[in-house]
Amino acid sequence: MVWALEAGAVDRRGLELEPVVSDIQTLNEWALEGRLEVTALSAGAYAAVADRYLLLPHGASFGDGYGPIVVARGDLDLRAVEIVTPGPLTTAKRVLHLALGAQVRTRDLPFDQVLDEVVSGRAEAGLLIHEGQLTYADAGLVKLLDLGTWWQENVALPLPLGLVGIRRDVDRSADVSAVLKEAIVAGLENRDDAMAYAMGFGRGIDRETADRFVSMYVNDLTLDMGERGRAAVARLLGRDAEFAQ
């Protein structure tokens, strides 16, 4: 989507769109302030910003039978150890507590530090998002819990991870929504160019791993989450979410 906007592959309809790159926990914190007019945010954080943002039906990421994972150096009881997590507002941490209970002990770190914290022994277990879900075995770790699998077995819906919100005071929200959907389509139709652009944010992973990760989380639900996606968001939040028209 961002490649298409930057490359001029879609008609912006006169809108001024400036991509801002940051990690998801920072974006969640900014959403609490209403800093950005349009923003990616964790599905688990939406309830805290619903007074400021409506959701767009495009650009979301869902794990359909897979999702964030808990890893360790060996087998252990996850309810008996501290688990390093990628941020208090992330969907991953919200679902971790649903799966293991509110009393599970956690410690927050930036998402890209979690894997190394476990490998080094500074943490006994870690909750991985992003490409760490594919590379943990290379670091000698084992998977103890897949939250996407747990969610599917218990809820029978895809797990909503990241959403796109638009601030309630933004005019022309329908045009913004349409441009973003067209940008996603353009990115998929020009996959090689879009992947080359995305690799610049891949923290050193190889092209094959990056392509596999994108294939996991850019799917039909990304183009439009539809009723199935909306039902999943409502189930995660325990309430209906409001969408821009």
Instruction: Respond yes or no: is residue 130 known to be catalytic.
Output: yes
What is the C-alpha separation between 196 and 231, in angstroms, rounded? 34
Tokens representing 201 are 């944010």
Spatial strand order of the sheet with 105-108 comes to 105-108, 82-85, 125-128, 69-72, 142-146
In 21-109, which ranges are E strands? 38-42, 53-55, 61-63, 69-72, 82-85, 105-108
Listed residue (78, 91, 80) closest to 45, CA to CA: 91
What is the C-alpha separation between 204 and 61, in angstroms, rounded? 22
What is the C-alpha separation between 146 and 138, in angstroms, rounded? 17
- 173-189 helix and 191-199 helix, angle to the nearest 10 degrees: 100
Strands 82-85 and 125-128: parallel
Q: Is 220 helix (H, G, I), strand (E, B) or coil?
A: helix
Side-chain-facing half-sphere of 25: CA atoms under 13 Å:
16
Listed residue (21, 7, 64) closest to 215, CA to CA: 64
Query: Which of the residues 58, 93, 94, 130 is marked catalytic?
Result: 130
Q: Which residues are catalytic?
A: 130
